[in-house]
Chains A and B, each alone.
Chain A
Amino acid sequence: MTARQVLLAPAVQRKRPLGRVIVHGIRRYPGGIAGGAVLIGVLLIALFAGALTDKSPTSVDPVNRLSPPMAGHPFGTDNFGRDLYARTLYGARISLTAGFGVAMLALAGGIGFGLLAGYYRRLDGVLMRVMDALMAFPGIILAIGIVAARGPSLTNVIIALGVIFIPRVARVVRSIVLSVRERQFVEAARSIGATDFRVLVHHVLPNAWSPIVIQGTFIFAEGVLGEATLSFLGVGPPPEFPSWGNILGEARLYIREAPWMMLLPGLALTLTVLSLNLIGDTIRDLIDPRVRRRMA
């Protein structure tokens, strides 16, 4: 390569056509791209569920109870004669809302506690022991207890599941704070009179973002699963809500008469969680240099 070509190289790269960039991305990160595509699909379904079916997810059709896939009900009906296709489409709203809510709550709580525990040594012992105790408690049971106490609603499901994942985020954030707080730029910020809040938010926290994003993606996935599990056990949002979990809970009772009930919601649930896990894995591969080296 001549010197002239070397000089030109970056300019040429910048002009790479979009199609080539996409093909390159798919070849390099097939999982992440597929996951992203599925997740966008689920998001679109959640947003435009009404446009994809003319049926209501809650309208009852007693004549066509437990009917197999047929004209008008492409995926059959459930034990109340409700259209399973419509219920699954609308179920995407609940699942995504739950997953997003759980992730946000866990991140907010975890970042807060993690920063405090890592930065103020006196708080560390107490906060982390409380976190340990929370972690020792079987998560799903804690969630059942919280929802049972506060009453069945989507908000309570999100609170219950969000609380469970706070310790996980808190631990990650704390460990980063512990290593960053001794660095020179923190000392420098403090010496020019920055408040603790400013140091934490502007100097410490930015160093923790990538693991936080990774944790957030995985907790999103677990939030979707958690909501479905609670609904399956009958302690999710109220039963008239079309949630993938409670459709499956009812499908269990009719597995002989109406095995088609479990097909669509189960598939939707697995694909959604799978796409989130694939995205999480890809982000981790991109950020963690150790893994990247291994892949190269």
Chain B
Amino acid sequence: MTAYILRRLVMAVPVMLIVAVTTFLLLHMTPGDPVAVLLGPDATTEQIEQLRDQLGLNDPVHVQLVRWFAGLLRGDLGQSIFLNKPVTRAILERLAPTLELSILASLVAILIGVPIGMLAAIRQGRLLDFGSMLVAMVGISMPTFWLGLNLIFIFAVSLRWLPPQGYQPFEDGLWANLSRMILPAITLGAGQGAFLARMTRSVMLDVLSEDFVRTARAKGLSEPRVLLGHVLRNGLIPVVTVVGLTFAILMGGAVVTEQVFNIPGVGRLLIQAVLRRDFPLVQGIVLLIALVYVLINLGIDVLYAFLDPRIRYA
């Protein structure tokens, strides 16, 4: 197992390399000049050229790429053009809200999606099945930001139960922190939860029609034991895949939710960085998200072996 994990980690390196190079080239090939944005419309051409020289932006692209890579190997993601601080620090400062939001949203998605999907599968063709799948379909189709606006309007503006937006770190008290995270977490998690419900239902239906389920029932096992011991366990594999990816997907999706709720996270940092063409910062954040994807995929594969002893990694 250890050997397998190590091999997968080694295999992740080329993937990260491709992402890094693609990001770099995409950013540098599209027009737009961070220095012109930084200095504003009043800057003279000489000023812009001087600063471009200082930042090394006038060097050929391959020279810049090699320089960036050399830094990367030393663990240095470079300096943000606008924030005047190292990219690593800029990201770390903003990481906590995004991580918290993604984790809570994943919880929401899983706690809504998996049980509803299972119930719908068990009651296939009944009203509960039809109703929950209709709700799930609406959940998938509703734009996150509209859901977020509705929640703000209902729970913050009208009922005044929760604050409408912003972020408070844990140090300011658990409720101060959580009360501002509830609405964003529901907003971000609902769509994925709806997707999970549909997915879980269809997987469970597949398993329910298997021979071993009929056998289990025939030998007189109670229905809960059949469902939990036989159906759920076999249905878990594809569900775990989606649940795992949920976290990674939600980290990407946090961009919009953070914007709706004014949460100072990595997502908003990324939008700002893209709009101002802060090259090093964009590269750093994209690399981070790619790393999360790769690690989660690895985690999922490892989890398979625990869930299903038939799976062996040689």
Contacts and interface: CB of A to CB of B under 8 A. Distances in A.
Contact of A262 (B22, B146, B164): B146
B256 interface: yes
A235 B275 contact: yes
Interface residues of A, number: 42
A256 to B, nearest CB: 6
A148 interface: yes
B270 interface: yes
A130 B15 CA distance: 10
A144 B252 contact: no
A144 B192 CA distance: 22
B290 A262 contact: no
A94 to B, nearest CB: 15
B221 interface: no
A156 B129 CA distance: 41
A62 to B, nearest CB: 25
B150 A149 contact: no
B146 A248 contact: yes
In this complex, the interface size class of chain B, counting residues with CB under 8 Å from chain A, is: 35 or more
B255 A140 contact: yes
B143 A150 contact: no
A153 B26 CA distance: 20
Contacts of A187: none
Interface SS, A side: helix
Contacts, number: 113
A273 interface: yes
B149 A251 contact: yes
B18 A225 contact: no
Interface string A92-104: 0000000000000
B207 interface: no
B149 A270 contact: no
Contacts of A4: none
B83 interface: no
A136 B288 CA distance: 11
A15 interface: no
B143 A270 contact: yes
A273 B30 contact: no
Contact of A233 (B141, B152, B256): B256
A278 B137 CA distance: 8
B23 interface: yes
B209 to A, nearest CB: 8
Contacts of A140: 252-253, 255-256
Nearest to B133: A31
A132 interface: yes
8 contacts: A140-B252, A145-B274, A149-B32, A150-B30, A221-B141, A232-B259, A252-B149, A270-B142
Interface of A: 31, 129-130, 132-134, 136-142, 144-146, 148-150, 221, 225, 228-229, 232-233, 235, 248, 251-252, 255-256, 259, 262, 266, 269-270, 273-274, 277-278, 281, 294
